[in-house]
């Protein structure tokens, strides 16, 4: 096998997560599976079929480039929605292929109408409202102009959605700001309602909003991190735990990252291990070299800090993590040999290394750790 490590993706964990999230949002809302960032590092080609098996038929991505990737693997019945970058010269492709997209500036709107008129095909647009996130979205003051433009071009678009995005629903510290955004969104909706132009879907909620602000669950929800089995923050988990204490850790991590022992050897007391002199053996010890280094997504800042699992035991990284390897202290593991399974993230026997403990050690968010897992590590969907 030509690989130094691989990632397993659990089908049954995914199913449990979707079942739980369906229970939280109820039967009615459409769930859009957010698969930007290569499906949060899980691989678009792995997650799209899994989501479809679990009856999800809507996917959200950041760019046209990502949307194209999804179009190659999705079933013809599924929809794709671009929430961010769509260049003028990609709009034609989007309209032709029924790809939905956010519109948040006049330029994109004009271009959309030009293209739709030329193709004689309706664009499927989601109007994004600026409610206080201050990234993208139309300002409330612009609505009269926007409404005129929409009315003039009625036959060139389908008003798929009215949407917004919350600025930090995962933290109670942002409570006031999020509440303000919710009421601002309602103001936008009322404006359209009064003028008789209605979106098919009202949608605002990401994972954290779904889990902690029930009023944000509307016609559709856009769920990213939670479907992969992670809480947006410890606060979110605590909130849900207080709400339904009987459900024991309802979200399950999908990934397990594994490698193997490359070589085992002994080091005499008084010798330094690895580059430089960051680790000194203070007694005779046994070490194992693992063929995973910082070029494979195992951060150099985990030098002398990280932990991996071998034979059901947690063992420490010693010395500096190199480009392609790390060294661990296996003095206490009897019988360890070349080829033994190494778990970098995930469970082995009764021990577990979570993404958050892994990322706390290297000081990153789950979101960041996941999307930084190198795309060239092979991923396999397992039971
Ligand atoms: C990423 C993203 C989401 C999903 O966020 P999660 O916290 O992963 O659920 C929803 N909406 C927009 C606009 C996003 O960019």
Q: Is 203 in the pocket of ligand 1 (CB under 6 A)?
A: no
| Predicted pLDDT of residue 248 | 76
Report which ligand 1 atom has the smallest distance to the Cα of 40: 8
Q: Is 34 in the pocket of ligand 1 (CB under 6 A)?
A: yes
Q: For the chain, report the end-to-end CA distance as a whole number of angstroms.
A: 21
Q: How far apart are CA 10 and CA 50, in angstroms?
A: 10
Q: Compute how many other C-beta atoms are within 10 angstroms of the C-beta atom of residue 357.
A: 12
| Predicted pLDDT of residue 358 | 78
Q: How far is CA 49 from CA 12, 65, 251, 252, 305, in A?
A: 13, 19, 20, 18, 37
CA-based R_g, the chain, Å:
24
Burial track 165-195 (b if 16+ CB lie within 10 A, e otherwise): bbbbbbbeebeebbeebbebbeebbebbeee
| Predicted pLDDT of residue 1 | 65
In three state form, how does the secondary structure of 250-264 look? CCCCCEEEEEECCEE
Q: Is 225 in the pocket of ligand 1 (CB under 6 A)?
A: yes
Q: Whose CA is nearest to atom 13 of ligand 1?
A: 165
Å from CA of 166 to ligand 1 middle: 9
Report which ligand 1 atom has the smallest distance to the Cα of 232: 7
Q: How far apart are CA 296 and CA 374, in angstroms?
A: 6
Structure tokens at 330: 């296996």
Q: Is 207 in the pocket of ligand 1 (CB under 6 A)?
A: yes
The tens digit of pLDDT for each residue in 89-132 reads 999 999 999 999 999 999 999 999 999 999 999 999 999 999 99
Residue showing tokens 């070490």: 287
Q: What is the DSSP string of 305-332?
A: T-EEEETTEEEEEES---SS-EEEE-TT
Question: Which segments in the chain show pLDDT lower than 50?
Answer: none
Report which ligand 1 atom has the smallest distance to the Cα of 62: 15
Q: Is 318 in the pocket of ligand 1 (CB under 6 A)?
A: no
Phi-psi sector, 331: left (phi>0), alpha (psi -120 to 50), beta? alpha
Three-state DSSP at 156 gives: helix
Handedness of CA 218, 223, 229, 234 (dihedral sign): negative
Residue showing tokens 């420490």: 316
Q: Compute how many other C-beta atoms are within 10 angstroms of the C-beta atom of residue 360.
A: 13
Report which ligand 1 atom has the smallest distance to the Cα of 208: 7
Å from CA of 8 to ligand 1 middle: 24
Residue to probe by mutation, ligand 1, list 24, 165, 366, most atoms within 8 Å of CB: 165
Q: How far apart are CA 70 and CA 30, in angstroms?
A: 18
**Local structure of residue 304 (DSSP, 8 states):** T
| Predicted pLDDT of residue 362 | 67
Q: Is 165 in the pocket of ligand 1 (CB under 6 A)?
A: yes
Q: Whose CA is nearest to atom 1 of ligand 1?
A: 224
Residue to probe by mutation, ligand 1, list 104, 130, 206, most atoms within 8 Å of CB: 206
Query: Would the pTM of this model clear 0.75, i.e. be above it?
Result: yes
Q: Is 224 in the pocket of ligand 1 (CB under 6 A)?
A: yes
223 burial via Cβ count (<10 Å: 0-12, 13-18, 19+): buried
Å from CA of 306 to ligand 1 middle: 29
Q: Is 83 in the pocket of ligand 1 (CB under 6 A)?
A: yes
Q: How far apart are CA 304 and CA 326, in angstroms?
A: 10
Q: How far apart are CA 328 and CA 293, in angstroms?
A: 12
Domains of the chain with CATH codes: 11-243 (3.20.20.10), 255-382 (2.40.37.10)
Alpha helices by DSSP H, the chain: 11-25, 36-40, 44-53, 64-73, 88-96, 106-119, 143-152, 175-194, 207-212, 234-243, 355-361, 366-372
Q: Is 217 in the pocket of ligand 1 (CB under 6 A)?
A: no
Å from CA of 35 to ligand 1 middle: 9
Closest CA to 128 of 111, 105, 150: 105
The length of the chain in residues reads 383
Residue showing tokens 């951060």: 299
Closest CA to 36 of 47, 26, 23: 47
Å from CA of 317 to ligand 1 middle: 34
């Amino acid at each position: 096998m030509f690989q130094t490590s691989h990632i397993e993706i659990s089908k049954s964990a995914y199913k449990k997560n979707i079942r739980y999230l369906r229970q939280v949002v109820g039967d009615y809302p459409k769930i859009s599976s957010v698969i930007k960032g290569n499906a949060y590092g899980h691989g678009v080609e792995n997650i799209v079929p899994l989501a479809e098996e679990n009856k999800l038929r809507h996917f959200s991505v950041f760019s046209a480039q990502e949307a194209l990737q999804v179009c190659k693997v999705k079933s013809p019945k599924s929809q794709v929605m671009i929430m961010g970058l769509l260049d003028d010269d990609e709009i034609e492709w989007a309209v032709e292929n029924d790809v939905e997209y956010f519109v948040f500036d006049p330029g994109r709107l004009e271009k959309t109408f030009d293209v739709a008129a030329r193709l004689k095909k309706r664009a499927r647009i989601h109007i994004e409202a600026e409610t206080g996130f201050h990234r993208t979205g139309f300002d409330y003051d612009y609505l009269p102009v926007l409404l005129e433009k929409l009315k003039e071009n009625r036959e060139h678009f389908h008003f798929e959605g009215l949407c917004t995005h919350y600025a930090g629903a995962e933290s109670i510290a942002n409570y006031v700001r999020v509440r303000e955004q919710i009421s601002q969104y309602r103001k936008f909706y009322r404006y359209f309602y009064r003028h008789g132009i209605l979106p098919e879907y009202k949608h605002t909620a990401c994972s954290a909003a779904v889990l902690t602000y029930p009023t944000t669950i509307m016609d559709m929800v856009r769920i990213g991190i939670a479907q992969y089995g992670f809480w947006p923050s410890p606060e979110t988990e605590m909130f849900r735990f207080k709400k339904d204490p009987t459900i024991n850790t309802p979200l399950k991590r999908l990934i397990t990252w594994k490698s193997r022992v490359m070589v085992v050897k002994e080091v005499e007391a008084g010798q330094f291990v690895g580059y430089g002199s960051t680790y000194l053996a203070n007694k005779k010890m046994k070490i194992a070299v693992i063929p995973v280094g910082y070029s494979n997504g195992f951060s150099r800042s985990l030098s002398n800090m990280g932990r991996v699992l071998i034979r059901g035991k947690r063992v420490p990284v010693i010395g500096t993590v190199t480009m392609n390897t790390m060294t661990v202290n296996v003095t206490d593991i009897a019988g360890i040999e070349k080829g033994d399974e190494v778990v970098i993230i995930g469970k082995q026997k009764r021990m577990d290394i979570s993404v958050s403990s892994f990322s706390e050690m290297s000081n990153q968010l789950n979101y960041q750790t996941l999307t930084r897992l190198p795309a060239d590590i092979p991923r396999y969907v397992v039971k």
